[in-house]
């Protein structure tokens, strides 16, 4: 991997054109880069703010190669880009973060194994390939537990809770009777996360721990920084980010979702090898927000200062929440970010608003 920083005017490619790609493209443009978007969907949100957009299937090897050939470095906006697509792109251009970050986080069993082997604790878990496996897994994890598809689940999709043994068959049917993981429930006090960035030189800079509130499997709001964080928790969260970032040999922003237990111990829920919803507040409340930070890392630039200059309360605008855009735009304390999606659907993230102070 080349250590030479990309000069302004270089082309950075992004695999994926949703809202994260859109905000990355804007951040890249502000640093002087031309950003190219590759996404199967025409008129995707990122395509309308990028220097160039490529529309082709993930499986179109020729299109992927042509896209990568034009780019000085490539990154991705979400972890479900097919590994085969990433492999083609990485043979032509610098891929940051590397394929390892995708390979270890696309499969929940592989991810949990990696986390535990790194000396970081998670909830108990077991692999499930059949209804009979599920019965055995319940004996290992106890109940309640949540059954999740091993791949491609997000925002509560591909998940089903099992609260009694009688729920097992229904849960197995609900996730499509496919390869899964059963995770024991954590008796947590609250959900936290740490968003960090790792540069080409291995330096890691982290944003403060934040508190997250979910509903129906979707992030509703983030309070930043989290209150009631003692020095031991702060130190442990930093250690977790360091060991996992180094273990992935990650370049760019990543997030670690955490459960805080009653005694202050932290368990890892999952890793996101990309910019993350719980880091959106940094756009308005920090010296260097997560999207600029990621593009700096991809370009091989020094990482910016992640220190917050304000507290922030970030709320997702989900579905028809976005219909209140006029009132939100008129709020002097609110910073409104809309994602340019053409249609509103229940459960769809349409934007977010951060209230400072």
pLDDT in tens, 244-255: 999 999 999 999
The answer on 199 and 311 residing in a single domain is yes
Which residue range is the domain that position 307 belongs to? Answer: 188-356
The answer on 351 and 284 residing in a single domain is yes
Domain of residue 172, CATH code? 3.30.1490.20
The rounded distance, in Å, linking the Cα atoms of 103 and 79 is 9
The answer on 138 and 217 residing in a single domain is no
For the chain, what percent of residues have pLDDT higher than 70? Answer: 98
The answer on 340 and 254 residing in a single domain is yes
The answer on 140 and 52 residing in a single domain is no
Q: Is 110 inside any structural domain?
A: no
| Mean of pLDDT values over 93-103 | 95
pLDDT at position 96, please?
98
Q: Is the pLDDT of residue 65 over 70?
A: yes
| Mean of pLDDT values over 61-70 | 98
For the chain, what percent of residues have pLDDT higher than 90? Answer: 96
Domain of residue 297, CATH code? 3.30.470.20
Q: Is 106 inside any structural domain?
A: no
Q: Is 171 inside any structural domain?
A: yes
The answer on 276 and 152 residing in a single domain is no
Pairing of strands 334-338, 218-224: unpaired
Q: Is 311 inside any structural domain?
A: yes
pLDDT at position 248, please?
97
pLDDT at position 49, please?
98
pLDDT at position 2, please?
63
Omega before 144 cis (within 30°)?
Answer: yes
Mean pLDDT, the chain, rounded, equals 96
The answer on 133 and 63 residing in a single domain is no
The answer on 220 and 334 residing in a single domain is yes
Number of domains in the chain: 3
Its sign, for the CA torsion 7, 8, 14, 20, is positive
The answer on 158 and 55 residing in a single domain is no
The answer on 57 and 150 residing in a single domain is no
Of 32-36, 149-153, 269-273, 348-352, the least confident? 149-153
pLDDT in tens, 133-167: 999 999 999 999 999 999 876 666 789 999 999 99
What are the structure tokens assigned to 19, written together? 């809202």
pLDDT in tens, 107-123: 999 999 999 999 999 99
Residue 48 half-sphere exposure toward CB, CA atoms < 13 A: 12
| Mean of pLDDT values over 3-9 | 94
The answer on 241 and 331 residing in a single domain is yes
pLDDT at position 155, please?
61
Reported confidence tier of residue 216, pLDDT bands at 50, 70, 90: confident
Q: Is the pLDDT of residue 257 over 70?
A: yes
Pairing of strands 218-224, 11-15: unpaired
Q: Is the pLDDT of residue 227 over 60?
A: yes
The answer on 165 and 66 residing in a single domain is no
SS3 124: coil
Reported confidence tier of residue 329, pLDDT bands at 50, 70, 90: very high
pLDDT in tens, 176-203: 999 999 999 999 999 999 999 999 999 9
Domain of residue 58, CATH code? 3.40.50.20
CB 62 within 8 Å of CB 40: no
Q: Give the other-Cβ count within 10 Å of 353's Cβ.
A: 25
Backbone angles phi, psi at 67, to 5 degrees: -60, -50
């Amino acid at each position: 991997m080349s250590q030479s920083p990309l000069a302004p005017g270089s082309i950075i490619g992004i695999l994926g054109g949703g809202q994260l790609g859109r905000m990355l493209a804007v951040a890249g443009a502000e640093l002087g880069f031309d950003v190219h978007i590759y996404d199967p969907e025409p008129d995707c949100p990122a395509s309308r703010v990028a220097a160039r957009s490529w529309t082709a299937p993930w499986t179109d090897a020729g299109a992927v190669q042509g896209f990568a050939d034009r780019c000085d470095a490539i990154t991705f906006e979400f972890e479900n880009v097919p590994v085969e697509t990433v492999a083609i792109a990485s043979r032509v251009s610098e891929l940051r973060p590397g394929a390892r970050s995708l390979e270890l986080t696309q499969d929940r069993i592989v991810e949990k194994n990696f986390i535990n082997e790194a000396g970081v604790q998670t909830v108990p878990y077991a692999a499930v390939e059949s209804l009979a496996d599920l019965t055995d897994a319940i004996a290992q994890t106890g109940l309640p537990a949540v059954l999740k598809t091993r791949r491609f689940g997000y925002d509560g999709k591909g998940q089903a809770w099992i609260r009694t043994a009688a729920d097992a068959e229904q849960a197995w049917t609900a996730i499509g009777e496919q390869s899964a993981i059963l995770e024991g429930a954590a008796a947590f006090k609250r959900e936290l996360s740490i968003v960090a960035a790792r540069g080409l030189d291995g330096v890691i800079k982290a944003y403060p721990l934040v508190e997250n509130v979910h509903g129906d499997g979707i992030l509703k709001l983030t309070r930043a920084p989290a209150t009631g964080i003692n020095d031991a928790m702060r130190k442990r969260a930093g250690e977790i980010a360091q060991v996992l970032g180094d273990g992935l040999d990650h370049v760019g922003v990543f997030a670690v979702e955490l459960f805080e237990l009653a005694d202050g111990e932290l368990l890892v829920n999952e890793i996101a090898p990309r910019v993350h919803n719980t880091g959106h507040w940094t756009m308005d409340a920090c010296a260097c927000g997560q999207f600029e930070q990621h593009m700096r890392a991809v370009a091989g630039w020094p990482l910016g200062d992640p220190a917050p200059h304000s507290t922030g309360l970030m709320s997702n605008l989900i579905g028809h929440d976005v219909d209140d855009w006029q009132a939100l735009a008129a709020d002097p304390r609110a910073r409104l970010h809309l994602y340019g999606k053409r249609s509103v659907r229940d459960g769809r993230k349409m934007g977010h608003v951060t209230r400072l102070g």
